[in-house]
Amino acid sequence: MAQNPNYNEWVEMATKQMKGKSPDTLTWKSPEGIDVKCLYTAADIEGMDTVGSLPGMAPYTRGPMATMYAGRPWTIRQYAGFSTAKESNAFYRRNLAAGQKGLSVAFDLATHRGYDSDNPRVAGDIGKAGVAIDSIEDMKILFDGIPLDKMSVSMTMNGAVIPILGMWIAAAEESGVKQEQLNGTIQNDILKEYLTRNTYIYPPAPSMRIVSDIMAFASKNMPRYNTISISGYHIMEAGADSVLQTAFTLADGIEYVRAAIASGMDIDTFAPRLSFFFGIGMNFFMDIAMLRAARFLWHRSMQQFNPKNPKSSMLRTHCQTSGWSLTEQDPYNNIIRTTLEAMSATLGGTQSLHTNSYDEAVCLPTDFSARIARNTQIIIQEETHTCKVADPLGGSYYIEYLTNQIVEKAQEILDEIEEIGGMSKAIESGMPKMRIEESAARRQARIDQGSDVIVGVNKYRLENEKLDFDILEVPDSVRIEQIERIKEIKSTRNEAETQACLEAITKAAEGNGNLLEVAVAAAKARATVGEISDAMEKVFGRYVATTQCVSGAYSSEYSEANAESATVIEDFRKRTENFLEKTGRRPRILVTKMGQDGHDRGIKVVASSFADLGFDVDISPMFQTPDEAAKMAIENDVHIVGASSLAAGHKTLVPELIEKLKAQGAGEIGVVAGGVIPPSDYDFLYDNGCKAIFGPGTPITTSAGKVMDLLEAQYIK
């Protein structure tokens, strides 16, 4: 098709409106590196192989179902879990009564990492960021009164997937539901754990075997069950742009397919049960296009495995709106952001959706904030009439162009990964993680110097802010309750039987018995999550992540913005240089993550940018105890420790760190904290000796400035 006959006239008009400048100067380069022009026409999408298909038909660009939401709207599936099984169960039931359709369980971090609640390493984590599950008894309470033969249940579990899935199956069986009746999804996507989510337990090779074991078990016994949810959401939330999210997610998917085939399975027995999970951010059109592009690419990528069943190359996905885009500042804005993202996800054709609550950057959702979040979806479904048409944006020049661009750019990365030898090898090489972290550091720099606008944070910021809503706080008593229950179970179970089941697990791990099968038996014999995990750890070992850190990305993105921004960096470097001249060394900070909190985006951004500003930055391994962090601070003799806490462990962990430092005579090493810390906890931390607190949305230049204030006051007399 030729260019529109009036196009030249349009260019003239546009140039006139631009006071003589070409409309080309309006072209915006997106973070994905896609040039976005101010006008698209039919000529822009001419001849594209991504255009022109129909919904429900290969390559599924326009959606996996023929009628899409006109036939049945997406499933409203809210991710939730906190405190004890009993509390979470009550919360689920209230939500289901209010219009939620599917369940999605969030476990606490101790459970994720395969520790029982009585393990001293996880004292600050029990029930805080999800529901605590130690045994089948907890699992039964969690689903009490919920019909598991009817309700589709999604569980976000990856590390401790064998004990948890085993307990769920066993709990269902004990309540009279057969395995073949079970319906739902287990995340079981271990590769992205190494990349971004950080709740791995074992090294990659045995973990991949676990994934295959689960696929094999389910393809035999649970035909309605989705055995994996290949997740891009976490990759995006760690900092990836939409092209990176697409490429890394599909690359993970391809790796799982290869693993399953290598373990002897036929492609059509498991591929139709693969499901995906994407994150949807504030780049409205981009992420609509991303979902379309992902479906096209998955179909194309799957052809190499010669599937016979069309469903084997059909991408079905859950989506979640971006939590990262939500702010602690002016928090009701978050309702608007979430609405836009929900629109984007549904215009892109998601099969189910989670919408975040406005208190996202403060705490887990309360009943009230969860209601608003849920209603966001119900209103779109019931009031806007957007569900009447399948792929309503299909054929839009711009959307089709973006779709094609994402396909092309993601394919380049997919090819690069193939070159390295597949995603496992790529992850080993550190390439994907570094790309994500670089993208995160650049993003932070653009926000800090104002070129990416976030209303209420770097534009139209309120002068006096006070949170005026209730905050959900999980009491420490949950831990005591859990420990009590573990004691009771251990004292009433048939110990010999439990031990035999645990030995069977170790044996299966050594050989090639199906791990899920033996775990179901162990769950019934009242073995705990920790015991089952340990039984495998004996053979597999525990994985330790290698931490790499980008350097120079923050300062270069910041400096390139404009001359004024460049001065900010230069001035700061003079300040650290001055500190060196006056005191004999650079300001040295240890940044640490304590407890099982695996959110490392913030700490990586802080480490990388502080180094760019002239700090010497020590990074601790993940999952430290306060004692270990104190030892490291002392040995490295840092001036100050910065603890990053996002999973609600701050009130336990930060004061303990300060105590440990003091006890070893290193009281002069100051402690500051950052992350998701509700403002109402600030005074508690200050009273316990914390010198400064940097909440979400704090520009690096501000937190680094404050740290320098503290150090200059202490060391430059």
Partner 1 sequence: MYKDPSYFIQGVLDNNRLTLARTITLIESTLQTHQDIARNVISELLPHTGKAVRLGITGVPGAGKSTFIESFGNMLTGRGYRVAVLAIDPSSTRSGGSILGDKTRMEKLAINDMAFIRPSPSGGSLGGVARKTRETMLLCEAAGFDVIIVETVGVGQSETTVASMVDFFMVLQISGAGDELQGIKKGVLEVADAIVVNKADGDNVTRAKLAKKQYETALHLVTPSSPNWSPPVMTCSALEEIGLEEAWETIKQHKKIMSATGELDEKRKDQAMSWMWFLVKEGLENWFYNNEEIKKVLPTITAAVESGKKAPTRAADELVSVLGSDLLF
Please report, in angstroms and rounded to a whole number, the separation of the first and last CA atoms in the chain. Answer: 74
Q: By the 8 A CB rule, do 431 and 543 touch?
A: no
Contacted by 601, from partner 1, ligand B12, none: CB < 5 to 8 Å by type:
ligand B12
Contacted by 553, from partner 1, ligand B12, none: CB < 5 to 8 Å by type:
none
For ligand B12, the closer CB: 125 or 213:
125
The answer to whether 578 contacts partner 1 (rule: CB under 8 A) is: no
The answer to whether 553 contacts ligand B12 (rule: CB under 6 A) is: no
Q: Is 597 a catalytic residue?
A: yes
The answer to whether 545 contacts partner 1 (rule: CB under 8 A) is: yes
- Residue 688 CB, shortest distance to partner 1, in Å, is 22
Residue type, 614: G
Please report how many Cα atoms fall inside a 13 Å half-sphere around the Cα of residue 294, on the Cβ side: 39
Catalytic residue among 69, 200, 233, 358: 233
The answer to whether 149 contacts partner 1 (rule: CB under 8 A) is: no
How many C-beta atoms surround the C-beta of residue 570 within 10 A?
Answer: 12
Contacted by 605, from partner 1, ligand B12, none: CB < 5 to 8 Å by type:
ligand B12
> What is the Cα–Cα distance from 99 to 73, expressed in whole angstroms?
13
How would DSSP label each residue in 362-423? Answer: TSS--HHHHHHHHHHHHHHHHHS-GGGSSSTTTT-HHHHHHHHHHHHHHHHHHHHHHHHTSH
Q: Of residues 600-619, which lie at the interface with partner 1 (CB under 8 A)?
A: 607-608, 610-619
For partner 1, the closer CB: 388 or 585:
585
Helix (H) or strand (E) holding 140: helix 136-142
Catalytic residue among 597, 612, 618, 681: 597
For ligand B12, the closer CB: 135 or 698:
698
For ligand B12, the closer CB: 65 or 590:
590
For partner 1, the closer CB: 341 or 537:
537
Please work out the total of residues on this chain that contact partner 1, with binding judged by CB under 8 A: 44
Strand 317-321, strand 640-644: pairing: unpaired
The answer to whether 221 contacts partner 1 (rule: CB under 8 A) is: no
Q: Is 234 a catalytic residue?
A: yes
The answer to whether 363 contacts ligand B12 (rule: CB under 6 A) is: yes
How would DSSP label each residue in 700-714? Answer: HHHHHHHHHHHHHHH
Q: By the 8 A CB rule, do 11 and 23 touch?
A: yes
Q: By the 8 A CB rule, do 594 and 124 touch?
A: yes
Using alpha carbons only, give the angle 238, 254, 352 rounded to the nearest 5 degrees.
Answer: 60
Q: Of residues 621-660, which lie at the interface with partner 1 (CB under 8 A)?
A: 621-622, 628, 631-632, 634-637
- Considering only the C-alpha atoms of the chain, give the largest distance between any 2 of them, rounded to a whole number of Å: 86
Q: Of residues 546-575, which lie at the interface with partner 1 (CB under 8 A)?
A: 546-549, 551-552, 555, 573
Q: Is 150 a catalytic residue?
A: no
Residue type, 371: R
- Residue 544 CB, shortest distance to partner 1, in Å, is 5
How many C-beta atoms surround the C-beta of residue 341 within 10 A?
Answer: 27
- Residue 656 CB, shortest distance to partner 1, in Å, is 16
Per the structure block, which two tokens stand in for 112?
Answer: 């994720």
Question: Burial letters for 135-161: b for 16+ Cβ neighbours within 10 Å, e otherwise?
Answer: bbbbbbbbbeeeebeebbbbbbbbbbb
> What is the Cα–Cα distance from 46 to 43, expressed in whole angstroms?
5
The answer to whether 156 contacts ligand B12 (rule: CB under 6 A) is: yes
Contacted by 696, from partner 1, ligand B12, none: CB < 5 to 8 Å by type:
ligand B12
Q: By the 8 A CB rule, do 471 and 362 touch?
A: yes
Catalytic residue among 101, 593, 639, 660: 593
Contacted by 580, from ligand B12, partner 1, none: CB < 5 to 8 Å by type:
partner 1
Q: By the 8 A CB rule, do 72 and 428 touch?
A: no
The answer to whether 154 contacts ligand B12 (rule: CB under 6 A) is: no
CA nearest to 235, candidates 295, 168, 281: 281
Contacted by 358, from ligand B12, partner 1, none: CB < 5 to 8 Å by type:
none
The answer to whether 270 contacts ligand B12 (rule: CB under 6 A) is: no
> What is the Cα–Cα distance from 544 to 85, expressed in whole angstroms?
30
Which of 31, 602, 614, 626 is the binder for ligand B12 (CB under 6 A)?
602
Q: Is 470 a catalytic residue?
A: no
With CB under 6 A as the contact rule, which of the stretches 35-43, 309-317, 504-512, 591-599 interacts with ligand B12?
A: 591-599
Q: Is 599 a catalytic residue?
A: yes
The answer to whether 644 contacts ligand B12 (rule: CB under 6 A) is: yes
- SS3 track for 333-378: HHHHHHHHHHHHHHHCCCCEEECCCCCCCCCCCCHHHHHHHHHHHH
Q: Tell me if residue 274 falls in helix, strand or coil.
A: strand
> What is the Cα–Cα distance from 269 to 273, expressed in whole angstroms?
8
- Residue 257 CB, shortest distance to partner 1, in Å, is 20
Q: Of residues 655-694, which lie at the interface with partner 1 (CB under 8 A)?
A: 664-666
The answer to whether 648 contacts ligand B12 (rule: CB under 6 A) is: yes
Q: Is 233 a catalytic residue?
A: yes
> What is the Cα–Cα distance from 672 to 177, expressed in whole angstroms?
51
For ligand B12, the closer CB: 59 or 699:
699
- Residue 680 CB, shortest distance to ligand B12, in Å, is 13
With CB under 6 A as the contact rule, which of the stretches 40-48, 554-562, 644-652, 656-664 interacts with ligand B12?
A: 644-652
Residues that bind partner 1 (CB under 8 A): 430, 544-549, 551-552, 555, 573, 576-577, 580-581, 583-586, 607-608, 610-622, 628, 631-632, 634-637, 664-666
Catalytic positions are 79, 233-234, 593, 597, 599
Residues that bind ligand B12 (CB under 6 A): 106-107, 109, 129-130, 156, 196-199, 233-234, 237-238, 323-324, 326, 360-361, 363-364, 444, 591, 597-603, 605-606, 642, 644, 646-648, 672, 674-676, 694-698, 700, 703
